[in-house]
Amino acid sequence: MDAKQENNQHNTVVAVYPGSFDPVTNGHLDIIHRAAKVFDKLVVAVLNNTSKNPLFSVEERVELLRQVTADLPNVEIDSFRDLLINYMRQKNAHLIVRGLRAVSDFEYELQMASTNRKLSEEIETFFMTSTPKYSYLSSSIVKEVARFHGPVADLVPPEVERALLEKYASR
């Protein structure tokens, strides 16, 4: 790698958008598309939270995210099970992307941002507000609607709708 390539690599702004994405919704996808326009590289990182009982495995969530972001060349899909700050160091990233749907999200997100900042002063959190048409949308709501065979086509990408139908057909 020559000096110019190395210098460009050091100037690349890498942001991480962490979450459980169980499943990815149109609201998540809206944040991903918008953040991909702002940062040189966006890593969408699926949290492997062992304390939760997810509908989709980490591998399934990663694969669904890969499918729905295939058109975004600067988006990488990954997973992690460590502290976010440790993962950020592995990725040489200094920015966390978080979506805010409503005022009710802010208190929790502020706590998390402050904790991350306390753990690592070089980490900044970049808040993006939801597009109004997705401000009510959450993965929990999607799962609840899908579980009772309600329509989710306006809530999730088609790939996710198919995966939800398959999951709940077998239950």
> Which of 165, 129, 157 is closest to 65 using CA atoms?
157
Q: Which of 52, 81, 147, 162 is catalytic?
A: 52
d(CA 157, CA 24): 8
> What pLDDT does residue 169 have?
86
Instruction: Evaluate if residue 135 carries a pLDDT over 50.
Output: yes
Known active-site residue 41: no
Q: Which of 101, 171, 159 is nearest to 135 (CA)?
A: 101
pLDDT at position 99: 94
CATH of domain 12-135: 3.40.50.620
Q: State yes or no: is 28 an active-site residue.
A: yes
3-state secondary structure 53-68: CCCCCHHHHHHHHHHH
34 catalytic per annotation = no
State the catalytic residue, choosing from 61, 101, 130, 143.
101
Domain ranges of the chain: 12-135
Closest by Cα among 14, 83, 72 to 47: 83
pTM score, two decimals? 0.90
